[in-house]
Structure 1
């Protein structure tokens, strides 16, 4: 069973592959198409968002400056996106993951955070971009499982920022059916990862778990297999755990 997060530099090949796939997807569909999982955004707005996230993260890694200064898409959107991705990859490849660096989560404040965060950001938005043209993409199960781990370890502690705090009166376990990984959550304010006998187990492919946690899939459409106290498990998963 892998230990998440991965060593920071192990994220770079995944990020290179995901950004390449995203650029190809930008070229494959209409930019004016609405992205159903991102409110009223179009694919063009999704491209602008992701490219500017890359520029912001690259600036933080290089200089420590966390001020957001979005720039508009110019020229060919796919090419503009590729330039943003190249800037991010260059910044990460040249960074020492152990150097101190600001980020918004509660883990150690080092540059290592941004390697993982940008893989997870790109993976979710790659799925979003495909959904805008009614297409489906399947992530590497390792990437999807790592994304689940990131939500539960980095976003769940901040969940009160995104909506009503999730309720969890008894422990539950999430299990990836296509990857050797499970996560047990224990009651708390907010709930947290821990060790306990679970009152319910939710099992599904890692990507399906990830899409539920990122509010991309409805519970009744996600293909979850729930054993034990399904009501408790569904109530927790219905909460808004991510932005």
Structure 2
């Protein structure tokens, strides 16, 4: 199996977030997600966007131990229920995370929950 390059991973964060954003455009954000029936589409989007921000903070700060979610600015999603606010929040978080990863480079050492 061939591994993706660091740049490609960063590119995919942006591309896959754009794909999610396209699904959200004009959608009923209150509908349940078939593969996650306990979550609404909005909840899933906030989960993904929160993960972007969490990872971005870990990389930006070069965290060497677990980084609590409650210390991540904007982790809980946009204050507004407006779909446009959710869209902008997702785009901003993905871009910031990709930028942090690019700046850190592929050899930066940071804490991870993966063992």
TM-score, normalization: structure 1?
A: 0.40
Question: RMSD of aligned C-alpha atoms?
Answer: 1.7
- Determine the structure 2 residue equivalent to 1:37: 35
Answer yes or no: is the 8 Å Cα contact 2:77–2:89 preserved in 1: no
The superposition leaves residues 12-55 of structure 1 with CA deviations (integer Å, 9 ceiling, x where unpaired) of 22222111111111114110101121131101111111110000
**Does the aligned pair in 1 maintain the 2:77–2:86 contact within 8 Å?**
no
Mark the structure with the bigger radius of gyration.
1
Matched residues in 2 for 1:58 and 1:10: separation? 17
Distance in 2 (CA, whole Å) between partners of 1:84 and 1:12 is 13
Partner residue in 2 for 1:54: 52
Does the Cα contact within 8 Å between 1:58 and 1:87 map onto a contact in 2? Answer: yes
Could you say which residue in structure 1 is the equivalent of 2:2? 3
Change (3 A) 1:9 1:57: same
Query: Does 1:72 find its partner at 2:71?
Result: no
Q: Which runs of 4+ in 1 moved over 4 A?
A: none
Are the equivalent residues in 1 in contact too, given 2:21–2:90 (CA < 8 A)? yes
Q: Is the 8 A contact 2:30 2:42 kept in 1?
A: yes
Q: Distance in 1 between matches of 2:91 and 2:11?
A: 15
Deviation at 1:89, TM superposition (A): 1.5
Which of the pair has the greater relative contact order for Cα pairs under 8 Å at 6+ separation? Answer: 2
- Alpha-carbon distance between aligned partners in 2 of 1:13 and 1:51, rounded to the nearest angstrom: 16
Does 1:88 pair with 2:101? no
What SS does the corresponding residue of 1:30 show, helix, strand or coil?
A: coil
**Pair 72,99 (structure 1): closer, same or farther in 2 beyond 3 Å:** closer
Aligned-pair distance for 1:7?
A: 2.7
Report how many residues are paired: 104
User: Take 2:17 and 2:10, find their aligned partners in 1: how far apart are those partners?
Assistant: 10
| CA apart distance, 1:10 | 2.3
| Cα distance in 1, alignment partners of residues 8 and 91 from structure 2 | 21
Residue 100 of structure 1 corresponds to which residue in structure 2?
109
Report the structure, 1 or 2, having the larger helix content.
Answer: 2
